[in-house]
Structure 1
């Protein structure tokens, strides 16, 4: 699929949404997105590596939006949104919600119960979430793709971002378990390791600082994401990590948190569309026709 960008529909997304500035606590608007993809419940991410060509060659990494939105005046410009994404693994909705902390989030925020993965196994789903296409990839092997994707799109738009990879201690391509390259989609575009891809150990420093990136992607290691370990282990990791996000002004002042199990009405293209809508950039590939997550975004806490 070419790196086409369509005009963004209404600005919606699934995630844990903080209160809008200027509102009292009782009127805080929260949107939490908890997404489980049953299609990947039993997936044993793996498979043989083989050469796979993208479905089509991208015409450009970034194009001008067909219908650019006018820039708001400084006096009326809203506080820029922050988008946080945490991608877990291999759980159906019922299995994911069995975690005590996850169930707590589900009671308080929005839950997409009719959300599904694009395909099987993991890698093509991660590519769908970050480019709007699976590129014809059907396994978890390494497949060099043209430069582009969500990271490149945000960089070109001047939107700060970082992808935090747990267990990555020797770069994108040489780190070992519990890191998994197949769960780091940003390294596939242009077969490069952008400076924005950093070890998860950097997250605690960044989240406590004054300049939290506007887009934060978090990939836990193969144990903490639930791939190789129990739901209880994954849930405990979320219970340690999510509160640090919810305590930040970046989330409280118009931010959104998407918590998804890479596994209806919604799928990974809907998530990409929600991320791009929140950050004010045009939609990539199949995200252009994805269903907006309006109902989840409007839920109040």
Structure 2
């Protein structure tokens, strides 16, 4: 695709962002999504022509859950999160390692582990997670129980492991969880007004619409075909909202490549962690997946070759809201979104 290409992030180039929207899709390597033979033409062609493609964006681990936790807290993988926490166990903390890593194993982090959600609340900002098919707000397994959302069911394709909010005691132990981690069906109404649109809107499609399953239990084809159809329906709802038009940024990315045997490459200085020597099981990362940024602050049809990963995304969201950097988002030299991404000089 034609378009200008930038190669260097410059975190100092920070526009006045008031609203960040994040959509995570599942388990696709860069070439499968963004290549000429992509089964997602709306994402790879139509939307790409409207935004800036981050061609060197990487996941931070394998399998799914550790990537979502990276985006929300900057915590690196451990053996339990790498295996998607088949049992919903507490994280047992045995120490601390730099930068800001809780040393230990387990799934549900204690309240001493900070999150972007907590940062936003403390700063007087708002946040909300919208989970397709979740139904009951703040839904998660009981502590110590087997996670019964690991496989999709007809009429219920929600996956707790794709909802990072419920892996932090500071969130699930709060009565506000039921108000702020809600079913996806609440999104259209909330987006109608700036006052009801949160500063952070974090969106997770169900196991079919995020491209994870193929075919899906309800008969849909799944994979990129279903993900693309879902994006075609819902991205215009986000980009047409008053908050997005005023000062919004939408990031569409994937949690990881199509598995540790295919691509466990890393970028951005990611190395062995205190809880997992190989965050990507067979390598140091979650593989190259790419990301697309849509915003009034970006020049349509452009590409940035600057390396980014989920820790970069967390740091960039924190920059947007004037917050300090958590966990690996504070890694020295980590690239954050700058003038290569926010490249629309007219804004």
What is the TM-score when the length of structure 1 is the normalising length? 0.71
Distance 2:50 2:193 in 1: 27
Q: Deviations over 1:237-280 (max 9, x none)?
A: 00111111111221111211110111142111011111111122
SS of the aligned residue for 1:298 comes to coil
Check whether the contact 1:128–1:269 (CA below 8 A) recurs between aligned residues.
Answer: yes
Distance 1:300 1:179 in 2: 40
Aligned to 1:159: 125
Distance 1:300 1:178 in 2: 42
TM superposition shift of 1:210: 4.0
Aligned to 2:55: 113
Residue segments in structure 1 that go unaligned for 5+ positions in a row: 1-8, 13-19, 21-77
Matched, 1:101 2:42: yes
Choose from 205, 214, 235 the match for 2:199: 214
For residues 54-69 of structure 1, the aligned pairs below 5 Å read none
RMSD of aligned alpha carbons: 2.2
Choose from 188, 201, 204 the match for 1:204: 188
Displaced runs of 4 or more, over 3 A: 174-177
Check whether the contact 2:71–2:314 (CA below 8 A) recurs between aligned residues.
Answer: yes
Residue segments in structure 2 that go unaligned for 5+ positions in a row: 1-10, 89-106, 142-147, 150-155, 214-221, 257-266, 268-306
Matched, 1:150 2:116: yes
What is the TM-score when the length of structure 2 is the normalising length? 0.62
Distance 1:256 1:271 in 2: 12
Matched, 1:246 2:239: yes
Distance 1:135 1:185 in 2: 13
How many residues in Structure 1 have an aligned counterpart in Structure 2?
229
Aligned to 1:74: none
Distance 2:72 2:126 in 1: 16
SS of the aligned residue for 1:236 comes to helix
TM superposition shift of 1:134: 2.1
